[in-house]
Amino acid sequence: MRKTPSSMMAILAVLTLILAACTGGGESPSASEAESMAPESMAPESEAPSESAAPEADFKACMVSDTGGIDDNSFNENAWAGMEQAESELGVEVKFLESRSTEDYARNIDQFISEDCDMIVTVGFLLGDATAAAAEANPDTRFAIVDFAYDPAIPNVEGLVYSTAEGAMLAGYASASWSKTGIVGTFGGINIGPGVTDFMDGFIAGVNYWNEQKGDDVRVLGGRVPSDPESGTFTGNFDSTDDAKNVTIAMLQEGADVILPVGGPIGGGTFAAIEEQNADAVGLGVDVDWTESAPQFTDLLLTSVIKRIDNSVFQAIERAVNGDEPQPVFVSTLENEGVGIAPFHEYEDEIDQEVKDELGALAEAIIAGDVVPSDYYGE
Amino acid sequence: MTAAVATGMSRTEQRERTRQRVLGIIYLVLAVLMVLGFAVATDLTSTFGLSAPNAAIPVPNLVVPSATTVYLLAGVVAFAGAIQLTRGFGSRTALILGLVAFAFVFAFLTWVAAGQSMNLTGVLETTVQRSVPIVFGALSGILCERAGVVNIAIEGMLLSGAFVAAVVTSATGNPYIGIVAAVATGGLLAALLAVLAIRYRVDQIIAGFFINILVTGLTAFLSVRILQPYQAELNTPERLGPIAIPILSDIPILGTVLFRHNIFVYSLFALIIIIHLGLFYTRWGLRVRAVGEHPKAADTVGINVYFVRYTNVILGGMVAGMGGAYFTIGSTGGFEREMTAGRGFIGLAAMIFGGWNPIGAFLAGLVFGFADAIQSRLSILSIAIPSEFLLMVPYVVTIIVVAGLVGRARAPAADGKPYIKE
């Protein structure tokens, strides 16, 4: 053994590579691996429909995730929930591949095309170019892309977009009403575009609307300066909960008592910070109602800004299964309940009935077009 | 120049004189930059919060007129520059350099906080917190490299510590068992590194890199397969909250900055002192340094080189494992993939900038933490600087300040070289 250090290294290195490959589905996308990546509980079910000869069983919907991974508590996980709903309710076969880097986008899409997927769902703004290229090369395959739409439209692609700012505006209004210090805060993971900034901008709009209605002066920390799209507070990644915690502590120390973290899993850092600082403050969830996806934070959760990616993905698959024409742009709004805010749960009693009524009225005004969030983004 | 040589000045003295002059010019340039760059309207004031929300004895806010403060500080820097240029400060050069740096930073903060307020105590508290995992990493590196083994696997050891601490704490309900498990895991990985590096004499950089990939892959795999389905059982560890040290924590400002932390921070303070004293004032430390500088000589006088290297690498791994536990049970209360986000490598940088010295590494870690704390304040206060640029600041500042202040650091002579006993 003493003379063979290199062989020992080689064995260990191979083991390492195997492990690394097992984790990132996108590293070496093969059919068997894609299936093995699916959560254990789903694996048997995904085969069941093909055996039970249901009429739609031969429809195969495939999803390519962004780099956040299928377990990100928000974005990708939410889209996958829509896929799972389609599997159980429409009996379609579903599959996914995780992208581990931006280079995987096109490769994963091609992989699914070679597997004859009937519909390919790509999750995220960043997959825009890869999806357009694949859709134009394969006009017979239907595509749907989350958080992106094409202008001009590509006939076989559905752009699923969300008026997230409408829901976030309601949350901002509620936050401004709850805040005791008159200071609230918001920050994002990476400034990758509307998928993140719509939450932050809408939140600011809600606070500004509150100030206008009430003659109040609630301030927002970390928001963007409208004249400078590059500004605003971002932690620089979607990995480090510790970074998010650091930003939250800074905001708490500057007096904020309601924080909206926009970055999926790193939002947990906000709640850890509030707990650690023993602050009389609350946080907000994003994408889904966090009392369900992260119940451990319920005590400190004022509400969540809802973005029903799952619904829109499900509906896009449903349209495809029914043979309906693809909708070039499908907008989820307050009106069609694609966006909104979650109940206040633990804080139900701390929000006055008056404010709740005003929230209802604001929602109606937004739906009617009398109030437009972008008018309230700031000076 | 030739005149200087003629007067019998040695080359080093001459170089020193040049360095003094360059410093003087830099000070003058800084003063000009302060006047031009941080100019604000004369009617604004900058408010610095000095009191933490939870402080026992509240301290009033420090309110200064922004413009006057900036000009005053610029004047001080210019004055220091003039003296530095003409006759130098001799043995007080480093002190003056520190003062100038302080004046510059304070003028900058005054500019940032003009017309607003900024909690200065909070900045310092964050500084300490942000430096914690970095300094743990640096201490781990010091223990290994002082004995002559390069440990590039600190990042992986931190990540494994974070993972194991989260899982074990969740499963047992006891964070102290979690810490022990994390320390043991760090030690095990280090033992693997030690076997590869010392026994099999594998290139130490490659061996360390391989451990990093192994841990990144393994934790991500287990996170998807095990933590995700059993989130409630395995990934909701109890967090160790801050312990306020009686009396000391009531000291205004300092109490909040230093004595209101959790057990990780206090352990870190203790480790810095213990490792410093151990390395430089005990027999054990002398042996370790001898092995790191000249293993053959150490061997000749009867020191067991392999034994010293094995124990030090394993000790280093244990320190890194403890630092890793900070991420989950000391800070965020849950494991996320790749959550250490490169802190282990920053730790290695802190070790080098700190001259392989625990206290130096701590200071380097604080510089990074301070820049990081300032960076997040700036973006919160909506200063119109792109966030991508701000996020770069801590790294740039660490390089400039520490490289400029410390100058050349020398690694242990036998660092990274396998020892072959004849």
Mean pLDDT of chain A: 84
Q: Look up residue A331 and give its two tokens.
A: 């907008």
User: Please, which pLDDT band fits residue B341 given cuts at 50, 70 and 90?
Assistant: confident
Please report the number of interchain residue pairs, chain A to chain B, with beta-carbon separation below 8 angstroms. 172
A220, pLDDT greater than 70: yes
Select from B125, B334, B376 the Cβ nearest to the Cβ of A247: B376
Mean pLDDT of chain B: 87
Q: Are B394 and B376 in contact (CB under 8 A)?
A: no
Residue B110 CA to residue B70 CA, distance in Å, equals 7
Residue B287 CA to residue B306 CA, distance in Å, equals 12
- What pLDDT was estimated at residue B55? 62
* Mutation target vs B (from A186, A196, A242, A259; most B CBs, 10 A cutoff): A242
Residues 6+ apart with CB under 8 A from B150: B144, B197, B204, B205, B208, B415, B416
Q: Which of A87-101, A191-205, B306-320, B327-341 is the most confident on average?
A: B306-320
Q: In chain B, what residues touch A24 (CB-CB under 8 Å)?
A: 220
Name the closest residue on chain B to residue A68, using Cα atoms.
B337
Task: Return the higher-pLDDT residue of B93 and B329.
Answer: B329
Residues B376 and B333 in one domain: yes
Smallest CA–CA distance, residue A136 to chain B, in Å, is 34
Distances (CA, A) of A104 to A65, A122, A268, B176: 10, 12, 28, 41
Look at residue B415 and tell me if it is in a domain: no
**Is B199 in the A-facing interface, judged by CB distances under 8 Å?**
yes
Q: Are A75 and A287 in contact (CB under 8 A)?
A: yes
- What pLDDT was estimated at residue A19? 59
Domain end, chosen from B115, B130, B165, is at B115
Topology adopted by domain A28-162+313-317: Rossmann fold (3.40.50)
Residues B320 and B215 in one domain: yes
- What pLDDT was estimated at residue B181? 97
A49-83 CB burial, b ≥16 within 10 A, e <16: beeeeeeebebbbbbbbbbbbbbbbbbbbbbbbbb
A54, pLDDT greater than 70: no
Task: Return the higher-pLDDT residue of A37 and A127.
Answer: A127
Q: In chain B, what residues touch A272 (CB-CB under 8 Å)?
A: 239, 331-334
Q: Are A340 and A169 in contact (CB under 8 A)?
A: no
- What pLDDT was estimated at residue B321? 97
User: Please, which pLDDT band fits residue B401 given cuts at 50, 70 and 90?
Assistant: low
Residues B205 and B351 in one domain: yes
Give contacts of B 339-398 with A, CB under 8 A.
339-341, 372-373, 376-377, 379-388, 391
Domain end, chosen from B59, B84, B115, is at B115
- Range from A359-363, B137-141, B410-414 carrying the lowest mean pLDDT: B410-414
Domain end, chosen from B115, B134, B158, is at B115
Task: Return the higher-pLDDT residue of B18 and A93.
Answer: A93
Q: In chain A, what residues touch B381 (CB-CB under 8 Å)?
A: 221, 254
Task: Return the higher-pLDDT residue of B38 and B55.
Answer: B38
- Domain tally for chain B? 2
Q: Look up residue A45 and give its two tokens.
A: 């079910």
Name the closest residue on chain B to residue A10, using Cα atoms.
B210
Are the beta carbons of B214 and A12 separated by less than 8 Å? yes
Q: In chain A, what residues touch B124 (CB-CB under 8 Å)?
A: none
Domain covering A165-306+344-376 in this structure, CATH number:
3.40.50.2300
- What pLDDT was estimated at residue A146? 93
Global pTM value: 0.81
Q: In chain A, what residues touch B204 (CB-CB under 8 Å)?
A: none
Look at residue B1 and tell me if it is in a domain: no
Look at residue B414 and tell me if it is in a domain: no
What interface predicted TM-score (ipTM) does this complex get? 0.79
Q: Which of A328-337, B280-289, B353-362 is the most confident on average?
A: B280-289
- Range from A168-182, B80-94, B332-346, B381-395 carrying the lowest mean pLDDT: B381-395
**Is B117 in the A-facing interface, judged by CB distances under 8 Å?**
yes
User: Please, which pLDDT band fits residue A265 given cuts at 50, 70 and 90?
Assistant: confident
Residues B258 and B109 in one domain: no
Q: In chain A, what residues touch B217 (CB-CB under 8 Å)?
A: 16, 19-20, 22-23
Give which of B320, B313, B55, B105 is closest to B204, Cα–Cα.
Answer: B313
Would you tell me the crossing angle of helices B263-281 and B305-325 to the nearest 10 degrees? Answer: 160
Residues B194 and B314 in one domain: yes
List, for residues B105-120, the tens digit of each pLDDT value: 888 888 888 888 888 8
Q: In chain B, what residues touch A185 (CB-CB under 8 Å)?
A: 380
Q: What does the domain layout of chain A look like in residue ranges?
A: 28-162+313-317, 165-306+344-376
Residues B136 and B106 in one domain: no
Residues B126 and B105 in one domain: no
- Range from A167-171, A211-215, B351-355 carrying the lowest mean pLDDT: B351-355
- Domain extent at residue B157: 122-406
Residues B187 and B48 in one domain: no
Smallest CA–CA distance, residue B114 to chain A, in Å, is 15
Residues B71 and B192 in one domain: no
Select from B210, B224, B384 the Cβ nearest to the Cβ of A71: B224
A55, pLDDT greater than 70: no
List, for residues A104-147, the tens digit of each pLDDT value: 899 999 999 999 999 999 998 889 899 999 999 999 899 999 99
Give contacts of B 43-82 with A, CB under 8 A.
49, 52-54
Give which of B175, B170, B196 is closest to B317, Cα–Cα.
Answer: B196
Residues B227 and B133 in one domain: yes
- What pLDDT was estimated at residue A31? 36
- Range from B217-226, B233-242, B398-407 carrying the lowest mean pLDDT: B398-407
